[in-house]
């Protein structure tokens, strides 16, 4: 598996498996085990996905060595702040049946993110987590975090797919030594992505599916991708994306699909800030 090197020297697989919306514990456990058997080593979960325990069960059951794995989880907004973050981390780690985490992310840019970050810096210095990062932070919010704290985020996980390509944000992140990671690489199928005529015709040229074209396009841009699927054939298909190289002319055609805006929601919309910021989970 190709890796990217984070700003602290940690190696991160460029392709991983996401488990958002795999809510049934048995199904989540099965999917993670099948992903590991397929060869995925990066598993992306979150406290708010309510499936950390199922992921932990699969990790415990698998015979893949801990040092080969790259496990990410995320801190939910209700646990923002120094003390709550330290506690939430222990809860996540115990559900995952792990004694350290590879990557701990602030899930949303809301609430006391500076308090959370200082707690995460302590966990990092104590060796409990190998790298720290954020999700859904716009460049201004990242700069604020950088300027007022000691550890520069290693990763920003943001919505990135052919309809929302984030090229300017990627340049900003690169300038600041922060690795970009895509969530929703297929836009969860929105805008009829899997039937997009451009992506289909490019796929036909290489004998690849639309999903494989999208994942190759992301990884060719050095973006880490974490596709989700509950189907074994798709889990395998999404992993088999390195045996071809998209030509410049095809990259240019994909660039034209960019709508320059989210296919989901705007993290700066006050109603969204209120909705996500007050969403309480029984963690
Ligand atoms: P996604 O990966 O863009 O899309 C998943 C959808 O695509 C599912 O409906 C899946 O269906 C389908 N699919 C997967 N592979 C396919 C294939 N080869 N052919 C046809 N359909 C296929 O969406 P996502 O799960 O939202 O994003 C990926 C991961 O990013 C998440 O699991 C999560 O780990 C992370 N994420 C993070 C944030 C954040 O705020 N940080 C937000 C969203 C997601 P089936 O499952 O039925 O196969």
Measured from the CB, is residue 73 less than 6 Å from ligand 1? no
Statement: residue 113 has pLDDT above 80:
yes
Per-residue pLDDT at 199: 98
- Where does the pLDDT of residue 133 fall: very low under 50, low under 70, confident under 90, or very high at 90 and above? very high
Q: Which of 141, 217, 228 to mutate to test the pocket of ligand 1 (most atoms within 8 A of CB)?
A: 228
| Model pTM above 0.95 | yes
Over range 267-281, report the average pLDDT: 92
> pLDDT tens digits, residue range 55-68?
999 999 999 999 99
Q: Which range (78-87, 178-187, 273-282) has the least confidence?
A: 273-282
Nearest-CA residue for ligand 1 atom 36 is 183
Over range 232-255, report the average pLDDT: 98
Contact call for residues 18 and 226 (beta carbons, < 8 A)? yes
Contact call for residues 223 and 160 (beta carbons, < 8 A)? yes
**Given the CA of residue 44, which atom of ligand 1 is nearest to it?**
34
Nearest-CA residue for ligand 1 atom 37 is 183
**Given the CA of residue 105, which atom of ligand 1 is nearest to it?**
41
Supply the DSSP symbol for 153: P
Per-residue pLDDT at 101: 98
Distance 175 CA to ligand 1 centre (A): 28
Over range 111-129, report the average pLDDT: 98
Measured from the CB, is residue 28 less than 6 Å from ligand 1? no
Per-residue pLDDT at 282: 81
Structure tokens at 150: 């000691």
- Where does the pLDDT of residue 184 fall: very low under 50, low under 70, confident under 90, or very high at 90 and above? very high
Per-residue pLDDT at 1: 87
Statement: residue 175 has pLDDT above 80:
yes
Distance 46 CA to ligand 1 centre (A): 14
Nearest-CA residue for ligand 1 atom 25 is 228
Supply the DSSP symbol for 120: H
Structure tokens at 260: 């320059």
Q: What percent of the chain has pLDDT over 70?
A: 100
Per-residue pLDDT at 151: 98
Measured from the CB, is residue 19 less than 6 Å from ligand 1? yes
Distance 264 CA to ligand 1 centre (A): 13
* Residue appearing with tokens 């991983």: 16
Per-residue pLDDT at 93: 98
Using CA of residue 108, residue 112, residue 118, residue 122, what is the dihedral sign? negative
* Catalytic residue IDs: 49
Nearest-CA residue for ligand 1 atom 6 is 188
In order of 19, 27, 35, 207, 281, the CA distances from 230 in angstroms are 9, 8, 10, 23, 24
Per-residue pLDDT at 283: 73
* Domains with residue ranges and CATH for the chain: 3-278 (3.20.20.100)
C-alpha atoms less than 13 angstroms from C-alpha of 231 in its C-beta half-sphere:
4
Cα–Cα distance for residue pair 216/7, rounded to 1 Å: 23
Structure tokens at 241: 């994306």
Distance 55 CA to ligand 1 centre (A): 16
**Given the CA of residue 233, which atom of ligand 1 is nearest to it?**
18
Structure tokens at 266: 């705007």
Distance 186 CA to ligand 1 centre (A): 6
Cα–Cα distance for residue pair 99/152, rounded to 1 Å: 23
Over range 15-26, report the average pLDDT: 98
Three-class SS state of 193: helix
DSSP line for 8-30: TS-EEESBEEE-TT--SHHHHHH
Q: What percent of the chain has pLDDT over 90?
A: 98
């Amino acid at each position: 598996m190709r890796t990217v090197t984070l700003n602290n020297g940690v190696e991160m697989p460029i392709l991983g498996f996401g488990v958002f919306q795999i809510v049934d514990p048995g199904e989540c456990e099965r999917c993670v085990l099948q992903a590991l058997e397929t060869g995925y080593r990066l598993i992306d979960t979150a406290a708010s996905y309510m499936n950390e325990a199922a992921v932990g069960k699969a990790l415990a059951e698998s015979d893949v060595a801990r040092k080969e794995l790259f496990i990410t989880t995320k801190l939910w907004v209700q646990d923002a702040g120094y003390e709550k973050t330290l506690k939430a981390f222990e809860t996540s780690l115990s559900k995952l049946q792990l004694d350290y985490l590879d990557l701990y992310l602030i899930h949303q840019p809301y609430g006391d993110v500076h308090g959370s970050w200082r707690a995460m810096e302590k966990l990092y210095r104590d060796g409990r987590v190998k790298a720290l990062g954020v999700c859904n932070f716009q460049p201004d919010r990242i700069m604020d975090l950088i300027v007022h704290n000691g550890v520069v985020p290693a990763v920003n996980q943001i919505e990135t797919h052919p309809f929302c390509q984030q090229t300017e944000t990627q340049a900003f992140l690169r300038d600041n030594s922060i690795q970009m990671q895509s969530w929703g690489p297929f836009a969860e199928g929105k805008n009829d992505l899997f039937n997009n005529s451009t992506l289909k015709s490019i796929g036909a040229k290489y004998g690849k599916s639309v999903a494989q074209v999208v994942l190759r396009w992301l990884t060719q841009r050095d973006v880490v991708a974490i596709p989700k699927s509950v189907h074994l054939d798709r889990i395998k298909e999404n992993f088999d994306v390195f045996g071809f190289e998209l030509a410049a002319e095809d990259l240019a055609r994909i660039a034209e699909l960019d709508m320059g805006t989210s296919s989901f929601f705007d993290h700066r919309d006050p109603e969204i800030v209120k909705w996500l910021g007050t969403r309480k989970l029984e963690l």
